[in-house]
Amino acid sequence: MKTLRVTVLLLAAVFFAAPLVASAAFGFSLPGQGFTFEPLQRATGNPAFWQQVGRSVLLAVLTAVIGSVLLMGTLLWLHLRARTLLPLAEGLSVLPFVVPPVALVMGVNLVFRAIYPGFLTSLLSLVPFYVVLTMPLVYRALDSGIRAIDLRTLVDAGTSLGAGRLRLFWEILLPNLRPALLAGGLICVAMVLGEFVLASLLLHNTYPVFLAQVGQDNPRAAAALAFLTLAGTWLLLAGFARTLRSERTRS
């Protein structure tokens, strides 16, 4: 049994590592030249690269901020003032799971081309749809964070000690909910930085769209960028899982 277990894990490790190792080896080398940054430099030397990376970062930050504010505000309100609406809110939050992104674009195109065609040409029009796409995961992260603290008691205690609403939020609730907010924000960032369907079909040149174009004519540069993107995503999410764990054990 023991050898079987370890074999399963080793096979999984080989399968998971193979594309990563191959993309690094393929992307950071040239035939007959060995290790080189040349393919990568040719891609990053393109001014469009930094521009499109910048766009993706902007979208990621805006999505994380707007999504967190909207959901945190709504969830606190529902938990404190309108608990009967919680099941409805939660049910709606998983709705994006049943709508494939490509089907959402179809509907979005039909709606906004008809009522306000200029809206979709703006890069920032992607933000609300990214908030929608990340909602199922962010909602869960924030909701479980709120359920883990004794919200009612914290609010009552704070109020009875004379804290105003703003102070209550900034000095009592926010520090307690920081791990949940971090979790939601990082999921947002990871998803938006990799999002291709909406960006490409609504004709916005973000980083994944750049990567897809590079892959058409420069597979080595695409492999190098793919490796960095996958490794970066892993580090981002794994590093975050670690901070979340240590926050939990401390409190």
Residue with Cβ nearer another protein (162 or 249): 249
Q: Which residues contact 143 (CB under 8 A, 6 or more apart)?
A: 75, 90
Report the C-alpha gap between 163 and 34 in whole angstroms: 65
In the chain, what are the helix, strand and coil shares in percent, each to the nearest 5? 85, 0, 15
Stretch that binds another protein, among 44-52, 54-62, 140-148, 224-232 (CB under 8 A): 224-232
Q: Should residue 244 be labelled a site residue for another protein when binding is judged by CB under 8 A?
A: no
Q: How many helices and strands in the chain, by DSSP H and E? A: 12, 2
Draw the binding track, 68-107, toward another protein (x: CB under 8 A; -: no contact).
--xx-xx--xx--xx-xx---x--x--xxxxxxxxxxxxx
Residues in region 172-201 near another protein by CB under 8 A? 190-191, 194-197, 200-201
CA 132, distance to chain mean position in Å, is 12
* Identity of the residue, 176 or 196, whose beta carbon is nearer to another protein in the bound complex: 196
Quote the least distance from Cβ 160 to another protein, whole Å: 18
- Give the residue with the Cβ less far from another protein, 161 or 248: 248
Burial 170-190 (b: 16+ CB within 10 A, else e): eebbeebbebbbbbbbbbbbb
In the list 57, 58, 123, 219, the residue contacting another protein (rule: CB under 8 A) is 219
Least separation in angstroms between CB 193 and another protein: 10
